[in-house]
Chains A and B, each alone.
Chain A
Amino acid sequence: MDQEGYITWISGPVVRAKITGAMRMLEQVEVSSFRLVGEVIGMQEDTATIQVYEETSGIKPGDPVFGTGMPLSVELGPGLVGEIFDGIQRPLEILAARSGNFIQRGIKAPALDRERKWVFTPVLKPGTELQGGEILGTVPESSLIEHRILVPPGLSGTLEWIAPKGEYTVTEVIARVRTPSGSQELTMIQEWAVRRERPFRERLSPNVPLITGQRVIDTLFPIAKGGTAAVPGGFGSGKTVLQQALAKWSNADLIIYIGCGERGNEMTDVLVEFPKLLDPYSGKPLMERTILIANTSNMPVAAREASIYTGISLAEYYRDMGYDVALMADSTSRWAEALREVSGRLEEMPAEEGFPAYLGSRLASFYERAGRVVTLNGNEGSVTIVGAVSPPGGDFSEPVTQHTQRFIRAFWALDKSLAAARHFPAVNWLESYSGYDADVAQWWEDKVSPDWEELRRKTMDILQQEAQLQEIVKLVGPDALPDSQRFVLLVARMIKEAFLQQNAMDPIDAYSVPQKQVALLQLLIHLFERGSQVVAKGAPIGRIQKEVTIWPQLVRAKATIPNDDLSGLDRLREQLDKELNQIERDYDEHQNPS
C-alpha cells in the first residue's frame, strides 16, 4: 500500500491531506500509522478531504495517508448470516477477541472468516457460457439460508473449470472463467463498492405484501415486498420495539438490522433475544436469517454514515440470489445527523437546520435501492426498507421526516400520546398512510378473504367518525350524543383495544397471522353492523353496554385465541348474536305490536 499524501489539518472525523500520489475521489484510504480507515470525500487542487471512520484523537499534521486503490467496499460471500458487524463491516466478535471489551482503533479484520470451510455444490457445468449474476453453485450458509454463489456482475465468458462438490474456504478458487481479456479465477468472495447500486434485470411492481404479523400494519397500512416505509416518532413512542417486532415476525427470507447511532444495550438485546426466538415460519432460531450492523451512538460518527450503505449493499446481494430481504434502519435521523456533522466540518453552506442541501438526494439514493426485481439470473428478489426517523421533539415538520416522506410510500406515524397511554404499537391511524394498499389488495383477496378491502374501508371509516365525534365529546360530553353515535364510539374503542393494540411481549399477541387479523376485524365489523341495527330499533346504548357481556373477552381475544385455532372467535360471535338478538327482541315488539 503506497503513501499518497500527508495530513495537513484535523478536526474531529474530518481531516485534510496534501496529495502526493494518485489519490482518487471516494477512494478508501488509511490514515496515519494507526491505519485508521477513511474515505476521500472531496478534492480541491492538491488537497483531499477525508472522512475518517475511527476516532482521530492523536492524529497530527504530517502523518501519512495510504491509498488502497479501491472505493469503500464490502466483502460479499458465505459467512455473513448470523454475524454482527460495525458500520464498515468489521466483525464485532473478532474485534472483541482482539481488543477486548472496548473498541480500539486501527484494528483490521476481514468481514468473512478466512479459515472456515463451506460445503460448495456446483450448479453450472464447465463449458457453459455465463453472465454476471448467474448462480455458480450453492453453499448452506445457515439452516435457513442457502447461499448462492454468484458470478460477479459485469463478468461474462465461458466457464472453463468449476470445483467439484467439497469443502472450501472463501479464498480458495472454485471456478475459472475464460473472458475476452483472459482467464479469470473466482472465489466465493466478491467485493462491492457500497455506494453503488447492484445491477438487476428489471423492476417489478410491488404487489405482494410483506406480512409483518402486526395488525395495524398488515391490515390498515400494509407494506409490499420491495417497498419503502418510514417510522417516525419522538423518543419513547416505540420505534425500536416496532422495528424489532418487524425484524422478528416479517415473512422475509433475510433480515438486515442496522442499529445506526442508537443504544448499545439495544443491540445487546437483539443479540441475546434473536438466537432464542424462533422464526414463526420455519421454527428455526431467528438469528439464522438475520445480519446485524451495529454502529452505536458513541461509535465514530462517520462510520454511522457508512453503515446504511454497508447494510443496503448486503441486502442487494441476497436479493440477487433470489431472496426477499427486509432491511430495518434504526435510525435514519442519526445517519442524517452524521451527514450534517461531516458537512459542518467541511464548512459547507447549510440548508435547513444545519443539514446539507444534499440531504434529500442522499435519502433518495438510499430508499431508491429498495425494490422487487428480476435479478440478473432471472429469479425474483426484493429489498424492503423500513427506516425509523427520530424527529426532534416529535415534530414531523423537520427536514429528515419531510424529505423522507418524498421517497417512501408507507408512513407509520408514531404518536407520543398513544404511547403515554400504553397503546402500542403507537401508530396513529389518522396520520399514517400506505400507498401499497391498492397494490396488495389482490393478494389479500385471493389468499385470505375476499372482503379485505371492504373491511379496511369500514374500519377506517369508523375510526374517522370517532375522531370527529371525539371533538364534540370534548366540548359537551358523550351523553349529549345520540345513541347511534355513542355506539360508534363504543365500537371504535373496541377496534382500538381488541385490534389495533398489540402487545409485543405477549407470546400469542406478538404475532397475528393474516387469517386471524381478518377474522378479528370481521367480528368487529359484524358487531358494528348488527349493533347499529339494534340501536336503530331504539335499544339504548346503556343496555347494549351492560347486557352484551363479551367486551372483556373480545378485548382479550387477541392474546387468548391462538393463530392456529380461531374457533374461539366463532364462539364469541355466537354469543354476541345471542345477546344482541335478546335485546333486539324487546324493541321489535315495541315497533310491531302484533
Chain B
Amino acid sequence: MSTKTQVEEAIPTLRTKQYEGLARIYGPLIVVEGTRDVSYDETAEIILPNGELRRGRVLEASEKGVVVEVWGGTTGLEMKSTRVRFLGGPLQIPVSTGMLGRIFNGLGEPIDDIAPPPAEALADVNGAPINPVRRAYPQDLIITGISAIDGMNTLIRGQKLPLFSGSGLPHNEIAAQIARQAHLANSDEEFAVVFVAMGVKHDDAEFFWRSFNESGALSNTAMFLNLADDPPMERIIAPRAALALAEFLAFERDMHVLVIMTDMTNYGEALRELASQRGQIPSRKGYPGYLYSDLASIYERTGILKDRKGSITQVPILTMPNDDINHPMPDLTGYITEGQIVLSRDLFRSGIYPCINVLPSLSRLMKDGIGEGFTRADHPALSNQLYAAYAHVQEVRSLAAVIGEEELSDVDKRYLAFGEAFEHRFINQGEYEARSIEQTLDLGWEILSLLPKEELTRVSEKELEQHYIERPSATEEG
C-alpha cells in the first residue's frame, strides 16, 4: 500500500487534524472521540502503529466525536496507538488523460508499478448532480453490431443500460464485445473506456484486460480494480473514483466515455454490510432504505451536457442472485437506468450467444434514436412487430407443451418456426461478428416473413409492401 498519497501531495495547504487512539472499533467502522472541526463526509487517514496507512471517511459527526468508515478494513487496528488524521474535505482524486492505459485500485491509486500520471485536475469522487436543464437529450445511436441490442434495444450515447445476468452467463463476453465494437454511424470522435471491477475474480479482470489489449483499446482504457480479495469497503469508492475520471474525460477533455462497471451486486453487498454495522434500519433483504438514492448517485452520473462535446455512457453489469430479477439490486437498478438488457439461462443452455432475452429487455431512449433520419424508417415498427410476435411465440410454446405441436393451428405452427429462427438466426451471432444496422433490420424482415402477412398488424401496409418477403412455399394451405 502506498504511504504518501496523491491527495496529500495535491492539497498540502489544507490544515490537517490528527488524533491518537480510538474509542471503538466495529466491523469496518471506527469511532474517534474528542474531535474538533471535523465535518461530515471528510476524508480520514488511519495510520497504524507499523506505519501502514488506510483511508476512510466520516459517516457521522457530533460534538463528542466522529464515526469513520475505513475503506481498507479494520483488521489489525489497535485502540491506543492508531492515529487518525482528517484531511479537511471529501475525497478528491487526481485525474488526467494520462490515466488512460493504466490500472488503479478502488481508490484511484496506480497499482501497475509505474509512477502515477501527472494530475491535470483534482476531482471530488462524489461528483455533483447535473442540473436537468443543462442536459442534452441523448439521441445518437451507438452501433454495437449485436442484433439483439441494435435492432431491439438500441444503445444510445449518454444512456445507462445495464446487463442483468446470472452467475455463469457470458455477461463479460457481451460487455467486452460491446466495448470492442461500439461506434457511432460515420464518426471518428475520440473515445475512452473506463472499466471498474468491484469484487470480481482475478480471471474476470484478466479477461477484460486481454480483451481490451487484443482490440487495441487498452491505451484508451483506464481500469479501476477492486478484486474479490481486496477490501470490500473500497468497493463503495471504486465506481465513484472511476466516474470522477469519466466526468473529467467527457466534460473537460471532450471524450466519449463508455463506463463498464462489474459487478454491481458486489457493490450492493458492501453497502449492506456497512449499513448493518451502523445499525441502520433495513428495508428489503437487509439492504438499507437509501439503496435507491445511493445507486442513483452512481447511475445518474451519465449523460451529455449541452455545452460539452463529450458524453458518458454506462453499461453496468449485475448478476441477479438466484436469477431473480425482483431482487432489490436489479429491481432498483431497473428503476434508475434507462432500460436493461436481460440475459437468459434458457437461451444460454440452447447454445445461443449472446443469450439476450429481448422480452424483459428494454431501451428507454431507443424511441428517439431510431427510425427515419437515424437508422431506417421501418425500424420502430419492425422492432415493435418482432416483440409482439416473439411474445406470442411464448404463448404458443406453452400451449404446445400441453397439447402437443401437432394439435396447433397452422398459424401457430408458423409462429413456432418464427420463434426458432428468431432465436437461432437473429439473436444468435458470433462473438466477433459485427452486424450493420442494415443487416440486422433486413434479417428481422426475413424472419418476420415466416409469418402470414395478416398477422403483422404492428407494421404499416406500406412497410409490408416494401420489406415483406413473399414465399410461395409457405402459404396458408401448406
Contacts and interface: CB of A to CB of B under 8 A. Distances in A.
17 contacts: A57-B90, A57-B126, A62-B37, A265-B135, A296-B129, A297-B299, A298-B297, A341-B290, A390-B335, A392-B332, A393-B331, A422-B388, A474-B398, A474-B402, A551-B454, A552-B461, A556-B460
Nearest to A392: B331
B409 A475 contact: no
B77 interface: no
B129 A102 contact: yes
Interface centre among B131, B300, B308, B458 (most CB of A within 10 A): B131
Contact of B39 (A58, A423, A555): A58
Interface in A440-475: 473-475
A91 to B, nearest CB: 9
Contacts of A100: 131, 134
B40 A265 contact: no
A421 interface: yes
Interface string B330-364: 01101110111000000000000000000110100
A99 B338 CA distance: 27
Interface string A89-119: 0001101100111111000000000000000
Interface of A: 8-12, 16, 55-62, 84, 92-93, 95-96, 99-104, 234-236, 259, 261, 263-265, 267-269, 271-272, 294, 296-299, 301, 334, 337-338, 340-341, 344, 347, 350, 353-355, 390, 392-395, 416, 419-423, 473-479, 497, 505, 551-552, 555-556
B281 A392 contact: no
B300 A392 contact: no
B438 interface: no
Given A60-B38, A103-B131, A473 B454 contact: no
A421 B40 contact: no
B24 interface: no
A473 B399 contact: yes
Nearest to A546: B476
Interface of B: 36-42, 59-63, 89-90, 126-138, 158-159, 251, 280-284, 288-290, 292-293, 296-297, 299-301, 303, 305, 307-308, 325-326, 328, 331-332, 334-336, 338-340, 359-360, 362, 365, 367-368, 380, 384, 387-388, 391-392, 398-399, 402-403, 407-409, 454, 457-458, 460-461
Contacts of B61: 9-11, 59-61
Given A8-B62, A350-B281, A102 B131 contact: yes
B132 A92 contact: yes
A446 to B, nearest CB: 35
A100 B251 CA distance: 12
Given A9-B62, A474-B399, A477-B407, A296 B90 contact: no
A259 B90 CA distance: 29
A551 B461 CA distance: 13
Contacts of A60: 37-40, 42, 61
B280 A271 contact: no
Nearest to A16: B62
A552 B384 CA distance: 16
A422 B153 CA distance: 13
B39 A297 contact: no
A337 to B, nearest CB: 6
B391 A96 contact: no
A11 B402 contact: no
Nearest to A10: B40
Given A298-B296, A479-B409, A235 B334 contact: yes
B328 A268 contact: no
A151 B24 CA distance: 60
Contacts of A337: 289-290, 292-293
Contacts of A236: 334, 339-340, 360, 362
Contacts of B280: 344
A256 to B, nearest CB: 16
A353 B289 CA distance: 9
A505 B367 contact: yes
B128 A102 contact: yes
Q: Which of B135, B281, B299, B399 has the most CB of A within 10 A?
A: B281
A102 to B, nearest CB: 4
Q: Most B CB atoms within 10 A — which of A56, A263, A476? A: A263
Contacts of B457: 497, 551-552, 555-556
A421 B392 contact: yes
Contacts of B407: 477, 479
B455 to A, nearest CB: 9
Contacts of A271: 132-133, 137
Contacts of B335: 235, 390
B130 A264 contact: yes
Contacts of B392: 421
Given A59-B39, A102-B128, A394-B326, A265 B138 contact: yes
A8 B60 CA distance: 11
Contacts of A555: 457
**6 tightest A-B CB contacts, nearest first:** A393-B326, A297-B296, A421-B391, A235-B334, A60-B39, A57-B41
Contact of B41 (A56, A265, A294): A56
A92 B283 CA distance: 33
A11 B275 CA distance: 13
A129 to B, nearest CB: 45
Nearest to B407: A477
B399 A101 contact: no
Nearest to B127: A102
Contacts of A297: 292-293, 296, 299-300, 336
B372 to A, nearest CB: 12
Given A101-B307, A265-B338, A267-B132, 5 more contacts: A11-B60, A235-B335, A297-B299, A354-B283, A556-B460
Contact of B387 (A392, A422, A474): A422
B331 A235 contact: yes
A344 B380 CA distance: 45
B301 A56 contact: no
A91 B383 CA distance: 39
